Structure 1
Amino acid sequence: MKPGRLVPRPLGTARLDLLPLVPAHAAEMAEVLGDPALHRFIGGEPATPEALRERYERLAAGSPDPAVCWLNWMLRLRAEDRLVGTVQATVVPGGEDGPVAEIAWVVGTPWQGRGIAREAAVGLVDWLDGRPVPTVIAHIHPDHAASAAVAAAAGLAPTGEYYDGEVRWRRTVAAGR
């Protein structure tokens, strides 16, 4: 089974609007992602607004591989009317079970500890459940307890497998759900 051409659509949760990524988000997101401490587990360093805009232009254009879907959303916290993070899924053709989505999330430092990443990841996995994407995985640094809690809340469980030093978490939805 192929995932088809999935595209991000606006989604909503109790407190968040998940907005499909557009390059115009770069300036605000450079501020949100600007704390060097945020990059402890995700790697890299804060990007300039210009570099982030270039990255967002590439992401918004989609994967050059037609079998791969890049799905990226900005997290807008309604109560503050501002962007506070991102959630994403890369969907690839899978093995015998069907397509696989690799998900990730990041929330700016000032908004951490409020359940925003959990809410966004659960919303994303719920959305994926309605698509022909039975398997969801995430790679989480073994020392990142907060991300492990987010993955668990979204229904993923650690597999004991490692990828680039990170624990692979997995959730498989039964066919026909």
Structure 2
Amino acid sequence: MIATRFDTERLALLPLHVEYADEMAKVLADPALYTFTGGEPPTVEALAAQYERQCAGPGRPGEYWLNWVISSLQDDELIGYVQATVTETEAEVAWVLGTRRQGRGYAKEAAIGLVDWLTAQGARRIIAHVHPDHTASAAIAAAAGLERTDRIDDGEHLWENAKQARP
């Protein structure tokens, strides 16, 4: 499985390339983005190295790292990213939107687009980890068709797609 471009109403989700590191470092520069996830804003160099690793993939058979940057179709500006780690049995998803563009529904639109894209590719179980205090991310997960479970993993609630067949 490989990440391919797909569009939503207002967004283009573009497969990750190292060349995006400079612009994305600016998008990810606000320390407030790391309130719930920890860490700090990456340098351009660190982000380029991370993107090289992500583009190379995990090197494990049957596992795929799919990463996209989110671009506004209105102005072609990068505004965030979505990602999925896909195995034979599940896809684990995440999303980050730069603070300058938050509050306009872009993260929700991108997450819904990602879940729809993965479902169209045959993913049956889609999961996300959401910090219990991150109400905005919880709302995005719910809008994307994920339901919060009672399971906690590393301090975060596990969300999963409601339509999947449960054992």
Partners in 1 of 2:59 and 2:68 — Cα distance?
19
- Work out whether 1:141 is the aligned partner of 2:131: yes
String of CA shifts for 1:76-128, please: whole Å, max 9, x gaps.
Answer: 011122100000110123xxxxx200000000000000111100000011111
2:49 aligns with 54
Partners in 2 of 1:172 and 1:106 — Cα distance?
22
- Does the 8 Å contact 1:136/1:172 carry over to 2? no
Structure 1 runs (4+) greater than 6 angstroms displaced:
none
Residue aligned with 1:9, SS: coil
Aligned residue runs from structure 1 range 156-167, under 5 A? 156-167=146-157
| Unmatched runs of 5 consecutive residues or more in structure 2 | none
1:105 aligns with 95
1:30 aligns with 25
Return closer, same or farther for 1:103/1:16 CA change in 2, 3 Å cut-off: same
TM normalised by structure 1 equals 0.90
RMSD of aligned residue pairs (Cα, Å): 1.1
Count of equivalent residues: 165
- Work out whether 1:131 is the aligned partner of 2:125: no
Partners in 2 of 1:81 and 1:103 — Cα distance?
24
Percent identity between matched residues is 53
- Does the 8 Å contact 2:2/2:64 carry over to 1? yes
TM normalised by structure 2 equals 0.96
| Unmatched runs of 5 consecutive residues or more in structure 1 | 1-5, 94-98
